Amino acid sequence: MAEMSIIKKIVVFPCLQIFLAAALLRIILAPFFFHPDIKTIFYISQFFANGVINIYEYLAQNPEKLILGPFVYPPLAYFFFGSIFPLIRALAGPAFGQWLAMGNEAVAVPHIFRYLFLIKLLPFAFEFLVGGLLVKILKNSRERQLALLFWFFNPVNIYAVILMGQFDVVPAFFTLLALYWAVGQKKPLWGAVALGIGGAMKSYPLLFLPFLAIVCGRDWRQQIKLFILGVAPYVIFTLPFVTSPSFRADTLISGLSQRMFLLGLDIGFGERILVVLLALVILFLLAAWRSGSKQDLAAYFLAVPLFLLAGSHFHPQWLIWAMPFLAIFIAKENKLFLPVVILLMGWLGTILLFDDKFLALGLLSPLDPGILFLPPLRELLSKIFQPSLLQSIFHTLFSASAIWIVCLVVAGKQHERI
Amino acid sequence: MSESRLPWYLSFALGVLFIFLSLLAAWLGVRNRLDTDQSFRDAFVSFSPGKPLTQTFTARHDFINIVILQFKNPGLANRGEFRFSLKSEEGVLLVERSFSGYNIGDPSLVRFQFDPIPASRGERFAIAVEAVSLNEPPIGVGIGRTGGLSFSAYYRTADKKAGLADLLNNLTQKLLGDKIFFALWALALFLLAGQGVKVIRRKL
């Protein structure tokens, strides 16, 4: 009887219901939507199973293999996807490798639904791991449920993870793990390592590291120690490749590092004040001024990606970087609802107007490959409105609400209850 | 609304909404639908003047109007002239298009679009590509495991009603064509949706 009661409690446990309902939505949608990015990553990762370690040089020396472009992520992402490739290939069947080697428009092949479902399993698993961490981090039952509902059912996760299959949720998990270890478990050293591992998959978690070091370090010695420990995993994984010209060209100079320096105020004589960098430095100085208050860390971890995206031409999946932290704050403060709605509207309008058919109607191409003959939404819209102006309006909405949210969470008191 | 029911409502509503709106967009937006697909590619093979590579197929629909082939122009170095042709089973030339190496990527899909061929359903067609000038450095065309050209053929839908029927029919065939996946996917869907329905009913 006691056992039955425990099982019953688990089944009706509200958080479990959210996890199950989230799984249902992912199972319904995953097979029918396609974006080429994740296919390219799996195509390149298959070489790891063949024993290729330095993928950057391998592709440079074997241009006939470079049919879907270079590998632009740090080496750990390659090792990670390469390690799970044999399992996915075994489940997908013998033609999977052939499909991966096809072009971006390969949606008419038999078994396409199976392939799309399988290549999205890894991002889904990490979405659920993030959900588990949210349950661990938040103590209040209602806040847990609100955070999980937001995390699993927000438009960014649906678009970037379920429809596109982007793996940004993997480094996002490590940034949340860093917060959990540094603040919840009072193990900042582990938190720094988690950021380093995330940074070795996609560089952006390294931008969180100065904040973790300055907020969680007791004195300057520990702050430096935390910083070095956080950088270490990134250095360990990238150092063997630094001498490779292809690695330096394709990966070290990433899209993020180029785009975050584009917004500037011209002060003449060829000089510019770089606005995103300016904002990040001011945020860091604020963190240093308030150092010692570990509860602020979640606010800084939310502020960094929001500043980056507010001032840069972003990729749709980059907003995933902020979503776990936004879930925490929106669960605590109802007043964030309006700015978050404007933020998400601005984000959606911006990305749907990119000149890329795979970011809008092209996502639906597995349902009907004929969709790929249709022009991007931007081109369709250009007949009635200037798309670049409309896109700028959406990005401005996004930026305004992003900066407002940063102001609220950094200056407000919501974080004190984390 | 009970907090346990809300995620299930969200999941059902979003799932149905996304699929419905996507099908609606595909139905209303798409005019050229897939007729025949043999797009798996094993290799690229080069071809030379006077020795065309051919592939036959039997159209499943009327109004065939697009054929897509896969080419590879290594280093984008070849700027020679090439010819695509489509002939009937009797050898009657229906379509002929010249194209240049300038238009071929490394690799790329090349689309040959022409006026819809009425009464094409059940008819057998022959696709051919050949080099007009010397194919140097060689451009390759994609071939499948059986040695035939890798290609896709599309047709122009007659009207919206027929388009809807074709869309749903193609989708069903594609789903049922992978029986193992479909069975497991449907089972997972059934179990989770069943749990959702149970939670919703329990609280009512």
Contact B40 A105 (CB under 8 A): no
Token representation of residue A51: 């024993």
CA distance A347 to A329: 19
Is A14 contained in some domain? no
Question: Is the pLDDT assigned to residue A35 strictly greater than 70?
Answer: yes
* Identity of the residue in A22, A110, A370 whose CB atom sits nearest the CB atom of B34: A370
Question: Is the pLDDT assigned to residue B174 strictly greater than 60?
Answer: yes
Looking at residue A380, what is its pLDDT?
85
Is A379 contained in some domain? no
Question: Is the pLDDT assigned to residue B188 strictly greater than 50?
Answer: yes
CA distance B26 to chain A (A): 6
- A309 pLDDT tier (thresholds 50, 70, 90): very high
Looking at residue B108, what is its pLDDT?
86
pLDDT in tens, A233-282: 999 999 999 888 888 887 877 666 778 888 889 999 999 999 999 999 99
* Identity of the residue in B7, B14, B66 whose CB atom sits nearest the CB atom of A158: B14
Looking at residue A209, what is its pLDDT?
97
Final residue belonging to a domain, choices B122, B142, B157 = B157
* Identity of the residue in A99, A158, A370 whose CB atom sits nearest the CB atom of B33: A370
Question: Is the pLDDT assigned to residue A371 strictly greater than 90?
Answer: yes
Please spell the DSSP secondary structure of B103-126, one letter per residue.
Answer: G--SSEEEEEEEEEETT-TT-EEE
pTM of the model: 0.92
Question: DSSP label at A13?
Answer: -
Looking at residue A394, what is its pLDDT?
97
* Identity of the residue in A98, A105, A149 whose CB atom sits nearest the CB atom of B41: A98
Looking at residue A343, what is its pLDDT?
98
> By percentage, how much of chain B surpasses pLDDT 70?
98
pLDDT in tens, B122-173: 999 999 999 888 777 888 888 887 778 999 999 999 888 989 999 999 999 9
pLDDT in tens, A294-308: 778 999 999 999 999
CA distance A260 to chain B (A): 31
- The count of C-alpha atoms lying within 13 angstroms of the C-alpha of A405, restricted to the half-sphere facing its C-beta, is 37
Is A5 contained in some domain? no
pLDDT in tens, B31-68: 999 999 887 877 888 877 778 889 999 999 999 999 99
Is A348 contained in some domain? yes
CA distance A166 to chain B (A): 18
Contact B40 A95 (CB under 8 A): yes
Q: What residues make up the domain containing A87?
A: 36-357+390-417
Decide if B195 touches A, using CB distance below 8 A: yes
Question: Is the pLDDT assigned to residue A292 strictly greater than 70?
Answer: no
Q: Say whether both B133 and B144 belong to one domain.
A: yes
Question: Is the pLDDT assigned to residue B121 strictly greater than 50?
Answer: yes
Q: Are strands B64-72 and B151-156 parallel, antiparallel or unpaired?
A: antiparallel
Contacts of A156 in chain B (CB under 8 A): none
Number of domains present in the structure of chain A? 1
Unique residue bearing structure tokens 């800084």: A300
Q: Say whether both B167 and B127 belong to one domain.
A: no
Is B6 contained in some domain? no
Token representation of residue A193: 């390592």
> By percentage, how much of chain A surpasses pLDDT 90?
72
A15, burial (CB in 10 Å: exposed 0-12, middle 13-18, buried 19+):
buried
- Interval A172-183 mean pLDDT: 97
For B164, which residue in chain A has the nearest alpha carbon? A368
Is A25 contained in some domain? no
- Interval A29-42 mean pLDDT: 95
Q: Which residue has the higher pLDDT, A4 or A172?
A: A172
Count other C-beta atoms under 10 Å from residue A141's C-beta: 13
Q: Say whether both B122 and B94 belong to one domain.
A: yes
Q: What residues make up the domain containing B190?
A: 159-204
Q: Say whether both B37 and B70 belong to one domain.
A: yes
Of residues A299, A310, A301, A300, the one with CA closest to residue A259: A310
* Identity of the residue in A29, A364, A369 whose CB atom sits nearest the CB atom of B15: A29
Q: Say whether both B165 and B149 belong to one domain.
A: no
Q: Say whether both B86 and B126 belong to one domain.
A: yes
* Alpha-carbon distances, residue B38 vs A49, B15, B104, B125, B153 (angstroms): 28, 31, 20, 14, 9
Is A220 contained in some domain? yes
Integer-rounded Cα Rg, in Å, for chain A is 22
Q: Say whether both B138 and B169 belong to one domain.
A: no
Question: Is the pLDDT assigned to residue A68 strictly greater than 90?
Answer: no
CA distance A200 to A31: 29
Unique residue bearing structure tokens 């911006």: A350
Q: Say whether both B42 and B97 belong to one domain.
A: yes
Is B106 contained in some domain? yes
pLDDT in tens, A327-365: 999 999 888 999 999 999 999 999 999 998 899 999 999
pLDDT in tens, B127-137: 999 988 877 78
- Interval A122-142 mean pLDDT: 95
Contact B189 A112 (CB under 8 A): no
Q: Say whether both B109 and B94 belong to one domain.
A: yes
- A10 pLDDT tier (thresholds 50, 70, 90): low
Q: Say whether both B105 and B135 belong to one domain.
A: yes
A356, burial (CB in 10 Å: exposed 0-12, middle 13-18, buried 19+):
middle
Decide if B152 touches A, using CB distance below 8 A: yes
Token representation of residue A219: 């004195």
CA distance B46 to B72: 9
CA distance B81 to chain A (A): 23
Q: Say whether both B53 and B142 belong to one domain.
A: yes
Contact A322, A302 (CB under 8 A): yes
Phi, then psi, of A131 in degrees rounded to 5: -60, -45
Is A127 contained in some domain? yes
- The count of C-alpha atoms lying within 13 angstroms of the C-alpha of A232, restricted to the half-sphere facing its C-beta, is 13
Looking at residue B1, what is its pLDDT?
47
Question: Is the pLDDT assigned to residue A4 strictly greater than 70?
Answer: no
- Interval A381-396 mean pLDDT: 92
For residue B51, what is the domain's CATH number?
Answer: 2.60.120.820
Is B96 contained in some domain? yes
Looking at residue A416, what is its pLDDT?
52
- Interval A13-38 mean pLDDT: 94
**Sequence-ordered list of residues with C-beta below 8 angstroms from that of A87, at least 6 positions apart, any chain:** none
CA distance B193 to chain A (A): 7
Q: Say whether both B118 and B177 belong to one domain.
A: no
Q: What is the amino acid identity at position B59?
A: A
Number of domains present in the structure of chain B? 2
SS (H, E, C) A371-393: HHHCCCHHHHHCCCCCHHHHHHH
Looking at residue B76, what is its pLDDT?
82
Is B17 contained in some domain? no
